Structure formats: structure tokens, C-alpha cells
Amino acid sequence: MKNLGYCLSALALGCAASAQDSLVPLTVLGEQVGEAQALSATDLELFQTEKVRQLLGLVPGFASTAADSAGFGDFIGVRGTGNTAFFGPAGVAMTVDGVPYGDAYTYSTNFFELSSAQLHRGPQGAYFGRNGAGGLLEFTTPGPTADPYYRLTTEYGNYDAFGARILASGPLSEKLSYTFQAYYNERDGYIDNTFLGTDVDSRERFGALANLYYRPSADTEIRFRAMVETARDGGQRMTNLPGQAGPFGLGLGLPQDPFQVQSDVLGATALDRQQFSFHVTRDLGWATFKSVSSYQTWNLGPNFTDLDLSNFGISTSDIQQNQDYMTSRYSLTSDQTQDLRWQLGLFRSKTESDGVAARSFPVPLPPTFMTTGPDTQTTSFNSEREIYAFYGNVSKDLSDRLTIEAGGRIEYVDTELSRSKGSAVYGPLGSFSGQTDDWYFSPTLGLSYKASEDVTLFGRTSIGIKPAGFTAFSDNPATSAYGEETAWETEAGVRLDRPEENWDLELRGYYKQIDDYQLNRSVLNSTDFIILNAKEVRAIGVEAEANWKPSDKLSIAASAGWSQVEFEKFNDGTTDFGGNRVPFVPEFSAALGLRYDIGNGFFVSSSYRSIGSTTYEETGNANFKQASYQILDAQIGYEAENWSASVFGHNLLDEDYFSYISPQIAAGSPGTPALYGVRVSVEF
């Protein structure tokens, strides 16, 4: 069932802020070379996009896997650059309302109501305070309305899913205004536990977001923003891979249905997130000054999982992890209507993380070491990362047709880690501490040429860097550290825009070389989970996006992308992986969406996504590969002036697929099954 709190389809069904007069906030406008148009609320509603992962297929070049643990362990990537599961830096940065997030596992995987969403492809160090070595997801929520506005939406569907959401906005006085949105949603689990006789992956979530705007003068805006989110989930949605035996020789005798399990424990995931930020924007006449200071605390625990997925009680994992993330950004941006445009910025962030991971499994028992029994090994860690960056970019119109753009980022990163490990059977297993710091430089250069009124050619070349660091899940100090990852990416494309004919099209191609690619690897016969540097990865691809409105009643949106992301040089000392595909990156993705307004308020819409085959380990083992799959969604509804109602369906073909596969335990997270429900929205 779709989580109502994040349901972007309510944007259109509620006739929301687009039907209201909004107070225009002070913003800095500008577009870098090669930028595609941002997805609007209508675009997101057309594809019923309510989660970060559902951008997969809709946005070419984007890749994501969902481990179904409130974002913990997820992969988010662009054109081959992404994050490792637990400790590596993010390859794709994310901001909401200009507020950056820390490591990828702390991202809000589901959306609040959005007014726009944009994936900036390629290195973004020259344009944003938060560095995006491979790209950046930029989301914005609706601003305040000029008049009081309220909307209530409720939703019910199969799996006893229920959701309620409220949106409020408007002025408090001549200089004060606000926005507020909150949601609650719950559902029963998709996974049946045939041993315990119950479902095990129920979901219950709450979130709220509030903004207070103060306009002391026409050229100044001050904004205070606060957000909270909680998740009280059942077990991780993880089941046995059909036909595969797990690490303890199990699997072949366990359920082969991807929605059944025989675990002897229920599992649980609890997550709490609070985020606060303070924004100041001032028009200085010659430039616009903007500052954003933010603080986020993210707390996961318990995150309890049965690793053997059986009723034998062999192995479990219990993780408690916390992260505090503090940022400050200051920028000056020139008038974006002039021939010469520039931006300068300073950025600082501090990340403090700590956690305890307890894993239980059978080991030889002293003193004879002849029998096996349970042991619990506990890893505790503390880490800090400080970043100081100066970034800037400049673009110049050399003529009415030709624009050149250049920029860069100078960044200093200091990372520290301390960790220890102990065993209930063997006692202390050692400790480790390390520190690394370095300077990084990331330049960018681009050209844009307007060949005609309708046709624009563009090209851009950039370098993106993910800094070096440490993983806490390694007993061997020699494998605790990993090196920096450097990517050189070049893209070229053409944009055709025919507003008089109501269509546009953009085609892009790119080539990317990634040196010292950061890659997760589990170590056999241990609980170690390390990060390696693969010497060289090559990525090439083509992408296309199109929109067409052939009539006032019909709207069509389509996208497609193909990529080849492979190891060029990677040998771990025992195996040569050259020529193998990089994990987590589908070889292609495509989407098609249509909406038809029947008349008298009635409408129907449908969307189709196709995701290409995806491998989940560097060997290319076919047992741990998800074949291509397709998702069909649809909805039909009625929109009146102040209310709306609709019936919706997701994955109507009931396609079976895994959104994540763990080769280490021969298990995966099955994708969302067929869902359907009704939604009603009232505004006043």
C-alpha cells in the first residue's frame, strides 16, 4: 500500500498549491550547462512517485536498490557512481529545501509533498555546498500561500493500509507566513512467516515538516525549518532466494515463495530523525547573499534481523547506529539575467557517527574446539568527518548563441575512526584507530550553443572525488582504510524545445572513467565488511527524455537510458574481475506515462517502467542477478473544485522481482506486490 504521508499523487488529486496564489520566496535562479528541466509535481503524480527508489526508471542514469530497512544499506547512484552500504561517502548528494543530508543511509527514502524534484547528473562540487561527486538530488517543498489554505487527504487499501495527511499554509501577519504538513500511515506486512503464523514486515510511520517565514523587508527573507520522522517497522523485508542455499547450508529446504519465510524471530526496525535549519536570504543589489545552517540527528535501533531466515536460531544481527550532521553554507550569487553570471560559496560540515553491531552465529567452543555453539561478537565504533570547502562557478555569454561555463571546488576532508570488537566466547578481539586528511580539487568546464531558436547543443567535462576514509566492520587494520575515488566524466547532448507544438526532447551521451572505485566486499569466514578500491571502472551511456501534449486532454512523458558500467582493471589478488559489470547499476531503464482528462472532472492515468538486469556482486554470478522487470501503475479519479477522489493501483501485473539481493546470506528484498486502494482529498 502506498504510504500516504509521502504520496506525491495527492499533489494533483488535491489540486494543491498550483490552484493557490503562493508567496514568491527569494530564490537564486540559474541553470548550469546540460541541465534538464526539473520534474514538476504533475510529473511526479503521473508516475505515482512517492519514494526515492521510484525515480529508478523515471530518471535516466539513476540507480537505486532498496534493502527495506528504512534506507539503511540502500544504494543510490548516478552513471555508476554511488555509495557503499555503511561507511563510505555518498556518491549522490541530496538536499531538501537547500538542507543537505549526510551519509546516504541517513537519507529520507520517502518524500514529503514536493513542488519539484531534480537530478543533477555529473559532479556537482562547483554548484552546491554539499559535494555530489556523481550527482545531486535536489528536492523542494511547496512555499507559503498568499491566503489561508488547508487540505486533508485520507487513503485506504489492501494489506489494511491506512494513511492520513494534512497540509496547511498561509500568512500569519503582514511579514510572517508558514507552511505545515504532517502524515501518518500504517499497513500490515507483505511477508508471511509460516513458522510463527503471522506477517513480519508491518510498517507504521509518522512525519511532520514546518516552515516559518519572516520578511522584514522586500529584500530579506528569514526562514526557520523543522522536520521530524519516525519509523516503527516490523522485520526487514528479506526472504530466501529461490533455489539458493544460504551461508549455513540452508535455503533449499526453506520456502521458495519470495513472500514467505520461516524465521523464528519477528525482526524490527526503529528509526528517529530530527532536522532543524535556519535560512537567511538577502538581495544586496549587486548579488544575492544566502546562508543555510542545519543540524540533523539520525538514530537507528533496534535494527534486528534473522540472518539465516530459518527457525533454527542460527544467526542474527542487531545494529544500533547514530549520526549527528551539522552544516553551514554561505554563498553570493550574481544577477542571473546578466551576460556574466557567477557564484561563490563556503561550506563546512561535521559528521559524528557511533554505533554498536552485535552478530550472533555458531563458532567452535573452547576448550576442545570440537563442538559448535552460539557466540555473539560485538563491534563498537566512533567516527568523525570534518569538511571545509570553497566552491564557485562562472558563466559568460560570448554571443547570443554561445555560452561558456567554468567552476571548481577546493575541499579539505579530515576523517577519524576508533573501533573495538569483543566476543562472548573469546573475549576482546582487538581495537583500531585511524586518521586521514587531504585536500581535493574538482574542476568543471562546459559549453552551450544555441544552434537555432529550438535547438541547443551542450557539452560538459568534470571531475568528481569521493574522499578516503575507514570502515568499522574490519578486524584487520590493513583493510580498515580505503582510498579516494576519482571520476572524470564528459557528456554531450542536444535539447529540442517546441513550446508552440507542446513538446520537448533531450538526448545525452556520456563517457566516464572512475579510478580507485570504492566497492563493498564481505570477507569469508568472518563478520568483516570492508571497502576495496577497484583500480579502474569505465562507464558509457545514452539518455533520453521527452514530453508531449498533443491535445488539451492528453499528456505524455517518456524517458530511457542505457549504460555499460564495467570494471576495466580490478584484481583482488586471486581473481581478475576485468570486464564484469559493476553491482547495483541496471543496464537500462525506461518509463512511459500518460494522463487523459476525460471531461467533467474525470481523468485516467497510467505509467509503465522497465528496469534492466542488475547484478549484485562483482563476480557477475547469475544466482545473484535480478533479471529485467516491468511495473505497471494506473489510477482513475474525479477532481472537483474543492475535493477529489481516485482509485489507484500499483504493480498491477503483480510482477515478482527483488529490489535488493544479499549474496552473503543468499537472500533478497522482494519488490512491492500488487497494491490497490482509494484516496479522498478535501481542501478549503
Rg (C-alpha) for the chain, rounded Å, is: 25
Supply 675's cell numbers.
Answer: 497494491
pLDDT tens digits, one per residue of 389-422: 999 999 999 999 999 999 999 999 999 999 999 9
Higher pLDDT, 56 or 508: 508
Q: At 582, give phi and psi (nearest 5°).
A: -75, 135
Rounded Cα distance, 518 and 319, in Å: 23
Report in angstroms the alpha-carbon separations of 488 from 132, 250, 255: 13, 44, 46
Judged against a pLDDT cut of 70, whether residue 32 lies above it is answered with no
Report in angstroms the alpha-carbon separations of 308 from 239, 271, 386, 583: 10, 24, 38, 23
Q: Residue 14 — pLDDT band, cuts 50, 70, 90?
A: very low
Contacts for 294 with CB less than 8 Å, ≥ 6 apart: 99, 100, 275, 276, 277, 278, 325, 326, 327
How many C-beta atoms surround the C-beta of residue 435 within 10 A?
A: 12
Rounded Cα distance, 566 and 556, in Å: 33
Handedness of CA 153, 154, 155, 159 (dihedral sign): positive
The pLDDT, as a whole number, for residue 244 is: 78
Higher pLDDT, 606 or 312: 606
pLDDT tens digits, one per residue of 59-112: 899 999 988 888 898 999 999 999 998 888 999 999 999 999 999 999 987 788
The pLDDT, as a whole number, for residue 53 is: 83
The pLDDT, as a whole number, for residue 608 is: 94
Judged against a pLDDT cut of 50, whether residue 312 lies above it is answered with yes
The pLDDT, as a whole number, for residue 10 is: 31
The pLDDT, as a whole number, for residue 6 is: 30
Q: What percent of the chain is predicted at pLDDT more than 90?
A: 74
The pLDDT, as a whole number, for residue 185 is: 92
Yes or no: say if 215 and 89 are a contact pair by the CB < 8 Å rule. no
Yes or no: say if 439 and 465 are a contact pair by the CB < 8 Å rule. no
Structural domain boundaries in the chain = 4-683
Supply 204's cell numbers.
Answer: 507504521
pLDDT tens digits, one per residue of 292-307: 999 999 999 999 999 8
Q: Exposed e or buried b for every residue in 204-225, given b needs 16+ CB within 10 A?
A: ebebbbebbbebeeeeebebeb
Q: Which of 565, 560, 567, 607 has its CA nearest to residue 588?
A: 560
pLDDT tens digits, one per residue of 272-297: 999 999 999 999 999 999 999 999 99
Torsion of CA 70, 73, 75, 81, to 10 degrees: 140
Contacts for 555 with CB less than 8 Å, ≥ 6 apart: 42, 46, 547, 548, 549, 594, 595
Rounded Cα distance, 419 and 357, in Å: 11
Q: Which of 89, 66, 61 has its CA nearest to residue 77?
A: 61
Rounded Cα distance, 564 and 165, in Å: 42
Q: What is the DSSP string of 227-239?
A: EEEEEEE-S---E
Tell me how many degrees the CA angle 385-388-390 measures, rounded to the nearest 5.
150
Judged against a pLDDT cut of 80, whether residue 488 lies above it is answered with yes
The pLDDT, as a whole number, for residue 252 is: 55
Higher pLDDT, 374 or 595: 595
Judged against a pLDDT cut of 90, whether residue 44 lies above it is answered with no
Higher pLDDT, 189 or 37: 189
Rounded Cα distance, 4 and 467, in Å: 37
Q: Establish whether the linkage from the previous residue to 60 is cis, with ω within 30° of 0.
A: no
Higher pLDDT, 41 or 93: 93
- Over range 361-369, report the average pLDDT: 76
pLDDT tens digits, one per residue of 210-268: 999 999 999 999 999 999 999 999 999 999 888 777 666 565 566 778 999 999 988 99
The pLDDT, as a whole number, for residue 249 is: 59
Rounded Cα distance, 588 and 591, in Å: 11
Judged against a pLDDT cut of 80, whether residue 456 lies above it is answered with yes
Higher pLDDT, 25 or 136: 136
Judged against a pLDDT cut of 90, whether residue 51 lies above it is answered with no
Judged against a pLDDT cut of 50, whether residue 676 lies above it is answered with yes
Higher pLDDT, 474 or 350: 350
Please classify residue 479 by burial: count the beta carbons closer than 10 Å to its beta carbon, then call 0-12 exposed, 13-18 middle and 19+ buried: middle
The pLDDT, as a whole number, for residue 251 is: 56
Torsion of CA 113, 118, 123, 127, to 10 degrees: -80
Please classify residue 367 by burial: count the beta carbons closer than 10 Å to its beta carbon, then call 0-12 exposed, 13-18 middle and 19+ buried: exposed
Q: Exposed e or buried b for every residue in 626-651, given b needs 16+ CB within 10 A?
A: beebebbbbbbbebeeebbebebbbb
Report in angstroms the alpha-carbon separations of 433 from 77, 466, 583: 30, 21, 30
For the chain, give the number of residues.
Answer: 684
- Over range 22-38, report the average pLDDT: 51
- Over range 595-610, report the average pLDDT: 95
User: Mean pLDDT for the chain?
Assistant: 89
pLDDT tens digits, one per residue of 427-436: 998 899 999 9
Q: Residue 45 — pLDDT band, cuts 50, 70, 90?
A: confident
> Residue 10: which H helix or E strand, with range?
helix 9-13
Rounded Cα distance, 415 and 233, in Å: 32
End-to-end CA separation in angstroms for the chain: 27
Torsion of CA 369, 372, 376, 377, to 10 degrees: 50
Q: Does the structural domain 4-683 have CATH classification 2.40.170.20?
A: yes
